[in-house]
Amino acid sequence: MAEPSSKKNKLGLWTSTSLVVGNMIGAGIFLMPPALAAYGSISLFGWLFASIGAFFLAKVFGNLSKLLPQADGGPYAYTRNGFGDFAGFLVAWGYWISIWCANAAITVSLVSALSTFFPVLTTSPVASILTGLSSIWLLTWINTRGIVTSGRLQLITTVLKIIPLLAVAIAGLFYIKLENFIPFNSSNTSAFTAITATGTLTFYSFLGIECATIPSGSVANPEKTISRATMLGTLIATLIYVLGSVSVMGMIPAKELVHSVTPFADAAAMIWGNSARYWVSAGVAIAAFGALNGWILIQGQVPFAVAKDKLFPAIFTRQNKKGVPIGGILIGSILVSIVMTMNYTRGLVEQFRFLILLSTLTVLVPYLFSSLAYITIRIQKKYFIGNWFQAVALGTIGFLYSLWAIAGAGQETVYWGFLLLMVGLPFYVWMIWKNNKEKMS
C-alpha cells in the first residue's frame, strides 16, 4: 500500500516535462528574434545546429538517468560518480551560483513584463524592487509546500506560457512574406561564422534540459520518467522555438525586427490587432513567473544533494515536514533577492550584469563534464557490451558540442567563468578539512 501513496507525492511524466519546458522557455525567448535578425535568415540554421546539439545532450542526460536513477543533483551527481568529489564539487559550485544569478535576471524580466500593465514599474525603483521581492518570496513559499505543489504550478504556467507562443507561431505561418528572409546573411561575416554565432546564441535558450534529472529522488519511476521527460521537453521547446522564429522573421522585415523590443507582440498585433499585445505581454510575464518557480525548486535541490555528500554545509540538508530542502531554498532566495535588488541600484547595475555574464559559463561546464561522465560510468558499470561504440559516440558528441558552446560564449566569459570556479577552491578545501576532522574525532 505504500507504493501508490509514495507516487502521489512525486513528480510524474507531465510535471517533469513541464519542469524541463518551463525552465527552458523563460522571458528571453520573446526577445530572441531581434537578436537573430541582425544576422539574417541564416540564423535559422543556428537554431537547427542548436537543436541538434540539445537533442544529443538530452539523450546523454536521459541515458544517465537510467544508469543512476536515484542520483539527486543531476549533473553534479553524474560528474561526481564519473570523476570524484573534486570535479563534482566544481560543477555543483558553479551551477549553484548560476542558478541564483539567473533567478535574479528572470525576476527582472518578470517585473519588466508586468510594467505593460503597471507603468509605475518603469519609473519607480522602489515599486520594482517590492514587486520583484514579492514574486521571489511568494514562489519560495509555494515551493516549501512540497514538490508536488510546485510541480503542479509549473505545469499550469508552462501550458499558459506556450499558448501565446504557439498561437503566434502557427497563425504567423499564414502571414509570412518570403522577401523578409532576404538577405540570407547580413552579418558581414562568413556563413560558418554567422551560423556559429547564432548557434551559440540560440543554444542558451535550451539551458535547462537537465532539470528533470536534478530532483530524481522525487520523481516517480525515475528510470523511465526522467528520460522521457527530458526528450519530450526538448522536443516541445524546439518546435516552439523554430516555428516562432520562422513566423516572426517572416512577418516582420529584418530592418524593423532588429529594433523591436516586443517582436511577438508586434507579430500578434499584425494578426489580431493592437489588443493582442496585452495577452502576449501576459504570456511574457507568465513565462518569467513559471521559469522562476521551476528554478527556485532547483535552487534547493542542487545544494541539498551536494550537502548530503558532505561537500556543502549541513544546513543545506535541512528539510521541512513535507520533505522540501528548506535550507537551500531559503538561502538561495535571500541571495536572489540581493542580486535582483542590485539591478535597481545605481552604481550596482554593472555588477549585476557582470554576475550574469559570470554565470553563463558555469551552466555550460556541467554539460561538458556530464558528457564525459557518461562514457566513464558506462565503463565502470560494464555496460559496453554490444553498445560501446554508441556510448562513446554519444558522449563524445555531447562533449564536443558543449566545448563549442563554451568557445562561442566569448573569451571574456570563459576567463571570468574560470575564475568564478576557482573561487570555490578554498571552500572545497575547508569542507574536506572539516570532514576529515570529524572522522578523526
DSSP 218-251: GBSSHHHHHHHHHHHHHHHHHHHHHHHHHHHHHH
Residue 280 has pLDDT above 80, yes or no: yes
CB 329 within 8 A of CB 144: yes
Q: How wide is the angle at C-alpha 15 spanned by C-alphas 75 and 235, nearest 5°?
A: 70
Q: In degrees, to the nearest 5, what angle opens at C-alpha 184 toward C-alphas 180 and 188?
A: 120
> What CA–CA distance (Å, rounded) separates 9 from 322?
9
Give the distance, in angstroms, between the CA of residue 170 and the centroid of all CA atoms in the same chain. Answer: 25
| Vertex 222: Cα angle to 406 and 231 (nearest 5) | 45
SS3 267: helix
What DSSP letter does each residue of 365-380 carry, written as one string? Answer: HHHHHHHHHHHHHHHH
Where does residue 56 rank: exposed (0-12), middle (13-18), buried (19+ CB within 10 A)? Answer: buried
Tens digit of pLDDT for each residue in 39-88?
Answer: 888 888 888 888 999 999 999 999 999 888 888 888 999 999 999 999 99
What is the predicted pLDDT for the residue at 2?
A: 36
Q: Please name which of 15, 26, 12 lies closest in space to residue 290, comparing C-alpha atoms.
A: 26
pLDDT in tens, 61-72: 999 998 888 888
Q: What mean pLDDT comes out for the span 265-282? A: 88
Which triple of cell numbers denotes residue 382? 560494464
Q: Over the range 377-388, which residues count as b (16 or more CB within 10 Å of their CB) and which as e?
A: bbeeeeeeeeee
Cα-to-chain-centroid distance, residue 45: 22
HSE-up of residue 320 (Cα within 13 Å, Cβ side): 15
Window from 162-166, 206-210, 269-273, 404-408 with minimum mean pLDDT: 404-408
What mean pLDDT, rounded, does the chain reach?
A: 85
Percent of the chain scoring above 70 in pLDDT: 92
d(CA 375, CA 294): 29
Cell output for 9: 507525492
Q: What is the pLDDT of residues 323-366, one digit of tens each?
A: 899 999 999 999 999 988 887 876 666 665 666 666 777 788 89
Q: If we measure between CA atoms, which residue out of 32, 46, 47 comes closest to residue 261?
A: 32
**Backbone phi, then psi, for 318, in 5-degree steps?**
-65, 130
Tell me which of 1.10.3720.10, 3.90.1150.10, 3.40.630.30, 1.20.1740.10 is the CATH number of domain 2-440.
1.20.1740.10
Domain ranges of the chain: 2-440
| pLDDT on residue 383 | 56
Contact by Cβ (8 Å): 24, 240: no
Average confidence (pLDDT) over 430-439: 84
Give the integer Cα–Cα distance in Å for 392 and 375: 6
Question: What average pLDDT does the segment 227-243 reach?
Answer: 92
Q: Summarize pLDDT for 286-308 with one digit per residue, the tens.
A: 988 999 999 999 999 999 999 99
